[in-house]
Amino acid sequence: MKSVAFLTNRTDISIGSHRIWVLDLSKYLKNIGIDVVITANAKIAANYDIVICGKSDVNLACLFKSENPNCLVGIINLAADKINLPIDFVIVGSIEEMDSLSSYKNVLLFPLIESMYDIEFPKLHSKKDCLRIGFHGSFTHLAKFEPGLRLALEELAETVKYELLVITNDKSFNWTIGKPNVKNIMVKNWNIETIKEDLTSCDIGIVPNITNFSALGQESPSDQGLYETDYILRMKNKSNAGRAFVFHQLGIPVVADLTPSNFHVMGGNDCGYLVSSKNGWKKALLKLVDHEKRQEIATNAFNRFKVLYDANTWTMNLYEELLEINNG
């Protein structure tokens, strides 16, 4: 068995990549019998066969590889503009990110499977006089409410009583672009002590991820399409289904946009709804007003996630890929 060291200077557990690809992945590797250490000390890491560095530790990874050429060295969640680095592999969280880093020979997929949201049974949904619609993610995603989701939420408020819970990494952010003109918007800072309880309190999860050109103050390049009705979608190279995964894990039904990774769980309407237009968002949200439909969709997605994203299975696959690189 090859041993694995996570070499990183980062300790902030509010950073998702650190929680999932360092803290959780190290635990998953231990679960399958691998000798693992997390350290900021390069001398300690040099005693291990495989060394995985954090996304903010690029310089550290390159220096370590130059000093320890026999170690297999990789980086988590590498920025797409970091090309031709002297490393052996990169670990990514989505097919979008995998493609953007395809200049590297070894790009390994490990989805954003977060252990703290792993529960035995999905949430039990009941009839509500006032629904709670929840969003969680970086404040940079809030502009992605514009225009479809924003307009849908405004129209929904005319017939459905709900509150919008926004959990983000910067409560002080001045939200203007994409903010719906509705009552009862509650903004909270992401907090590891309360995030699970906060999200579980939601009846519906919304996951906007596509950047609309108008939100950037840009005109849509419609002349590049064959038809005026063509979809023109813009997303980050690191787009992933991680924020939807959390809702799936907790048993919260999800409405999300057309990001490719979302299709793995929600490709059919039995596990959630994938939309883009104002009418698409509104129609999906209206369906989930019914608590029995929420329960059906949430339970289906919960069970499908359990099958598709078993942590031990993905960890074993990742470890076997690392062994192949080492032996190759």
Containing 320, the helix (H) or strand (E) segment is: helix 311-327
**What digits encode the pLDDT tens for the residues 202-260?**
999 999 998 765 545 555 555 566 777 777 778 888 899 999 999 999 999 999 999 99
Amino acid occupying residue 222: S
Helix axes 278-287, 148-156, angle to 10 degrees: 40
**What digits encode the pLDDT tens for the residues 23-56?**
999 999 999 999 999 999 999 999 999 999 998 8
Rounded alpha-carbon distances, angstroms, from residue 19 to 25, 32, 236, 279 = 8, 19, 21, 36
The class of domain 4-113+310-327 in CATH terms is alpha beta
Residue owning tokens 């560095």: 53
pLDDT at 78 > cutoff 80: yes
Secondary structure class of 303 (helix, strand, coil): helix
**What digits encode the pLDDT tens for the residues 117-175?**
999 999 999 999 999 999 999 888 898 998 899 999 999 999 999 999 999 987 677 89
Structure-block tokens of residue 12: 């902030």
Mean pLDDT of the chain: 92
Residue owning tokens 């890929």: 321
pLDDT at 231: 75
Provide the whole-model pTM.
0.94
pLDDT at 1 > cutoff 90: no
Strands 131-136 and 204-207: parallel
**What digits encode the pLDDT tens for the residues 112-127?**
999 999 999 999 999 9
What are the residues whose beta carbons fall under 8 Å from the beta carbon of 60, sequence distance 6 or more?
7, 8, 9, 42, 53
HEC sequence for 236-288 = CCCCCCHHHHHHHHHCCCEEECCCHHHHHHHCCCCCCEECCCHHHHHHHHHHC
Residue owning tokens 């499908």: 304
The class of domain 117-307 in CATH terms is alpha beta
Q: Rounded to the nearest 5 degrees, what angle is found at the Cα of 244, between the Cα atoms of 241 and 249?
A: 115
**What digits encode the pLDDT tens for the residues 170-189?**
767 789 989 999 999 999 99
Containing 75, the helix (H) or strand (E) segment is: strand 72-76
**What digits encode the pLDDT tens for the residues 92-112?**
999 999 999 999 999 999 999
